[in-house]
Chain A
Amino acid sequence: MRLFKLFAPYLRGSRTQCVLAPLFKMSEAVLELLTPLVVARMIDQGIAAGDRNYIIKMVGLLALFAAVGLAFSLTAQYFAAHASVSFVQRLKSALFDRAVRLTDAQTDAVGVPTLIARMTGDMDTVQNGVNLSLRLLLRSPFVVAGAMIMAFTVDARAAVTFAVVIPLLSLIVFGILYATIPLYDRIRAALDGVLSTAREGLIGVRVLRAFRVEHRQTEEFKEKNERLTRLQIATGRISALLNPLTVILIDLAVAVLIYVGAVRVDRGLLTQGAVVALYNYMAQILIELIKFANLVITITKSVACARRIGGVLDLPVEKQTGGVTTGAGEEAIRFDHVTFTYENAGEATLRDVSFTARRGETVGVIGATGAGKSTLIDLIPGFYKTERGDVFVLGANVKDWDPQALRSRIAIVPQKSRLVKGTVRSNLLWGDPDASEDTLIEALKVAKAYDFVMEKGGLDAPVGQAGSGFSGGQRQRLCIARALVRHAEILILDDSFSALDYVTEAAVRRGIARSCKDTTVVIVSQRTSSILHADRILLMEEGACTVGTHASLLQMSDVYREIHRTQFEEEAAAHA
């Protein structure tokens, strides 16, 4: 019910179609239900009386039923397709919007692959479920019940057979369904096992061969494959019962029906045509019940998917606090006793971090993986909220900033170089949609990306999905250029030189220093050489932060000395 409430707004636009589709579908079913009666009339009145005109009239009626039924049915199919497609289109759009605006804490909790699955495969399943439900959910039970009711109107005594057969058939169909659904889950799990063993063997082929154990992987595969096959055959044994059992039941029912009918006819209570009608109704039931059983499977799957989609859609919208849209002051960034803990993490990732960065300064951040460098960076544009303490950017508390306004003052080069499909130009324009051609070229030059971009055909060179077509180092430089286009007051480089060789890195760094004189630059790095000249260096150790300069840290900190020594010992030796 909650699910329905959540989805109702997206169904609203298709309300008419949602009513009309089943309505037309049922109208078609009514015609189908009337057909046996027409045939019965033809037999009892037309044939019995030898009335050819009557027969032709009845056949004309049958043809009319067929034509009208077709029209009804096509209309219904169209409405159902339209309603399900539009519904899912709206739902997808809403989910996408929701997903893009999730806070990072929420994204972490859900996981990116999950989000993508919700928007793709799950949506298709829901669409199919809605479409089939509109078409069949009402129709199939309607035909089954209708056939029984019609049978009762023909002859109540004979129709008792229906009252017995329908529950029995349902029991068989749904019993087999009920018994096999969990088995199919197990089959899927077993298949996943076979699949991951194959994948593992392929990905690890070098190691397996180096250790000469490739054969063991194959044996493991065979074992899992055998288990899967046995499970499939066992499950098949149960589902193989469906056809034979239902067919036997229906045929026996036909025999009983004819006998009961015969007794009634003998007593003059029923006509031959009526017996034929009853016989025809019996045939209709089976097809519809099996359709219905398949529908139940589809709906079960769809509801599961819908529930998962609902789970994302239902995530609380984080209050986008703060109306501050402008900031000023000499302090570009200030951390005031900031402590931060990730959700579900036992320990704090940042502990009591304080520092100030003035306008135009360069701040270096260094430390081991997991020391909290990236977390510290993420608090500046407000990707996460502090647990204790405050972060001030351009004089105002991040909590009071309007997030979009805040982010428009900051340019980030992320650790992972993310580009999107399009052209070099379209990617750079992310930095500033109004940037001039000169700005773009200048940014490319500073980022040492100009040469390879020109080689690939200039600003309009195509960029493949996720930046394919460019090497890791080139992508990284394009991301730097994208950030530079922004001309923001704060530039954050999160380990952004990792794929560049030392020569290129140095050149890019010099370029940034030259062209971003008034910009506050934050550089996160593993290498001391990248941050050595920063006005301030933050040395992160298990969430705690020591602030100093290269010289003062070399004096104060054993850890910093050690990091520097391992990276520069040759140089020291060379000078000695």
Chain B
Amino acid sequence: MRNEKKKPTLRRILHLVGAYRFHILCSLLLAALAVAATLYIPILAGRAIDTVIGAGHVEFARLLPLLYRIAIIAAVNGLSQWFMQLLNNRVSFRVVRDLRNQAMAHIERLPLSYLDAHATGDTVSRIISDADQFADGLLMGFSQLFTGVLTILGTLVLMFAINYKIALTVMLLTPLSLFVARFIARRTFAMFQKQSETRGRLTGYIEEIIGSKRVVNAFAREDAAKEDFDEINGDYAHFSLRAIFFSSLTNPTTRFVNALVYAAVALVGALAVVGGSLTVGILTCFLSYANQYTKPFNEISGVIAELQNALACAERIFSLIDAPEEPPDAEQAETLQHAEGRVDLEGVCFSYDRARPLIENLNLHVTPGSRIAIVGPTGCGKTTLVNLLMRFYEIQSGSISVDGRSVDQITKESLRANFGMVLQDTWLKAATVRENIALGKPSATEEEIISAAKAAHADGFIRSLPQGYDTPLTDDASVLSVGQKQLLCIARVMLSLPPMLILDEATSSIDTRTEQQIQQAFSRMMRGRTVFIVAHRLTTIKDADLILVMQDGKVVEQGNHAQLMASGGFYAELYQSRTAQV
């Protein structure tokens, strides 16, 4: 099962890095060269030491060429390592770049149903950190793995070639190192898991308590909170201590195994020297091999964990990239020019989740220039209608048509161009005020921008900003109040002013005066246009040509004010409770 899943992932990774195969091939060759050089130097040093026998017995004639050779090999080693690293950097950073661009371009074509169903933070972390870990783990890890394996094999081959007894000793002791490393890794992993669980609990508690500090103070819960905190903090310290301690065992214990290998080589080697089958120089060479030998083993066990992680990360990115795209416009789809504004919904059915029907058989006929109010309690699904009109979501049956043409025969782009949308949660780009107003029309002239801002009652406060229209808005746009942000969003629509509008009315967090300004801006916009309003204000609702009353995602009533009041249903109840004096 696991393998089946991994296979395509691996193939795709190969495909992804395939563009850099020449780079990778060169990098591998250089790695092999570097390993060979690294292994050759102790041999040269050993031979050099062998020329240094004793007082008056130093063979300088043999020594000097050996030393020159060390210098040359060192240079070769250094250069090949350098080029290898440059190549690796280039490949891994570019693969990440390609992957990110691909993911982002794909997101552009993903249906909103996907984006709504996946937390933004999760998708962002796939594009950002998963991509990073994938590249780090896979490419760097692969290069380390390759070097490591090559070093181990090279060392073994050389040792066997020179002295099989010592080589056998080393080989027999090797599993010990692997065993110890695995033992520790397993323990550590369990502890790290517990640690991160507890960390989650601790962070959650901190966020909760510090986030509602005011309430903690108001109810004088400081001491109780500290007690609870200390308990979780104590648990965290408990697991943290073990996790840290276990993970810090790896180095000393492998160093210990290493030292044992070293001692064994020294023993077998020294006895062989006494027996005459080995020179002191070659013994030195063996000792330095023994020193280096277990290092790649440690690295490899680390690298394997990293590779697994990298594969998991790759799977997460690929699952994003593989998510099915929004179907393209129908081939014969036409461009909708400036629409008249007639909208008809005929037997529309839609639900986010097939098991829970939402909108069923909705019929709605909107004549050009009329005003439709959508009312209902919070969370009743008013936005669903917006989603369908804008074709953010596709209806499951029935039809929606604009000016008598079914929307699936119209390009999405031109359909959306005929709608102006102002939503309740104001979204602004991290860009200047000017760029935000001109979002839908980058070619707009200065005059157009300013007159749109004036029409939205936004010109005044924009001019009072530190840099006027050039004021940069940050992520949270804290320089602006909620109302001001909304006015900017209105200005944005004012600039192009399409024939049909979708508006979400002012929220409760906006004060009365700003609300009035927004209302003025809204009514200026609505003149002569087909408007769908998610309505909160009674005036808007009463004056609407058609009121859709929604509850639990369904349109429960529709008609104008008089009709609905007469029918005495949910709308009448809502209306009365709102105006009733208590």
Contacts and interface: CB of A to CB of B under 8 A. Distances in A.
A42 B280 CA distance: 10
Contacts of B253: 70
A15 B538 CA distance: 70
B45 A244 contact: no
Contacts of A170: none
B128 to A, nearest CB: 5
Interface in A472-525: 472-473, 482, 486, 498-499, 501-503, 506, 509-510
Contact of B266 (A39, A104, A412, A421): A39
22 contacts: A43-B280, A52-B274, A74-B249, A80-B248, A85-B244, A97-B226, A101-B222, A102-B213, A107-B213, A112-B213, A206-B392, A211-B492, A222-B104, A232-B89, A240-B86, A251-B70, A258-B52, A275-B52, A370-B511, A420-B212, A466-B207, A501-B577
Given A210-B390, A237-B89, A570-B539, A266 B58 contact: yes
A532 B64 CA distance: 103
Nearest to B86: A240
Question: Top 3 A-B pairs ranked by shortest CB distance?
Answer: A268-B55, A251-B74, A368-B511
A436 interface: no
Interface residues of A, number: 162
A77 B52 contact: no
B30 to A, nearest CB: 11
Interface stretch (A174-182, A337-345, A403-411): A403-411
A245 B82 CA distance: 9
B206 interface: yes
Interface in A198-250: 198-207, 209-218, 221-222, 225-226, 228-229, 232-233, 236-237, 240-241, 243-245, 247-248
Interface stretch (B20-28, B230-238, B464-472): B230-238
A198 B120 CA distance: 9
A81 B112 contact: no
A244 B234 contact: no
Interface in B370-408: 377-379, 390, 392
B63 to A, nearest CB: 6
Nearest to B90: A233
A262 B274 contact: no
B560 interface: no
Interface stretch (B296-304, B356-364, B417-425, B453-461): B417-425
A105 interface: no
A248 B75 CA distance: 6
Interface stretch (A141-149, A188-196, A354-362): A188-196
Nearest to B516: A566
Q: What size tier do the contact residues of chain B reach?
A: 35 or more
Nearest to B207: A116
Interface in B53-101: 53-58, 60, 63-64, 67, 70-71, 73-75, 77-79, 81-82, 85-86, 89-90, 93-94, 96-97, 100-101
Given A100-B225, A101-B222, A529-B581, A115 B210 contact: yes
Contacts of B214: 104, 383, 414, 418
Interface stretch (A88-96, A386-394, A437-445): A88-96
A381 interface: yes
A498 B510 CA distance: 12
Contact of A272 (B54, B202, B216, B256): B54
A202 B280 contact: no
Interface of A is mostly: helix
Contacts of B74: 247-248, 251-252, 255
Contacts of B206: 96, 116, 119-120
B216 A262 contact: no
Given A47-B274, A77-B245, A97-B226, A210 B419 contact: yes
B100 to A, nearest CB: 5
B548 interface: no
B332 interface: no
A217 B421 CA distance: 18
Interface in A521-561: 526, 529, 532-533
B260 interface: yes
Given A198-B123, A229-B93, 14 more contacts: A74-B252, A96-B225, A195-B124, A236-B85, A240-B82, A244-B81, A251-B71, A259-B64, A268-B54, A268-B56, A280-B288, A412-B218, A418-B211, A568-B579
Nearest to B50: A272
B210 A272 contact: no
A243 B81 CA distance: 7
Nearest to A62: B263
Interface of B is mostly: helix
A131 B510 CA distance: 51
Contact of B270 (A42, A210, A262, A498): A42
A264 to B, nearest CB: 9
Contacts of B217: 100, 104, 381, 383, 407
Contact of A370 (B64, B481, B537, B542): B481
B568 interface: no
Contacts of B482: 369
A218 B56 CA distance: 75
Given A120-B202, A370-B481, A568-B579, A203 B427 contact: yes
B97 A225 contact: yes
B52 A272 contact: yes
Interface in B565-582: 573-574, 577-582
B516 A265 contact: no
A62 B58 CA distance: 29
B259 A62 contact: yes
Contact of B263 (A47, A66, A411): A66
Given A82-B241, A276-B284, A368-B512, A262 B79 contact: no
A46 B270 CA distance: 8
**Max count, chain B CB within 10 A of own CB: residue among A55, A124, A262, A275:** A262
A498 B492 CA distance: 29
Nearest to B262: A62
A323 interface: no
A509 B199 CA distance: 42
A52 B225 CA distance: 70
Given A248-B74, A265-B54, A258 B48 contact: yes
**Max count, chain A CB within 10 A of own CB: residue among B54, B79, B537:** B54
Contacts of B266: 39, 42, 58-59, 62
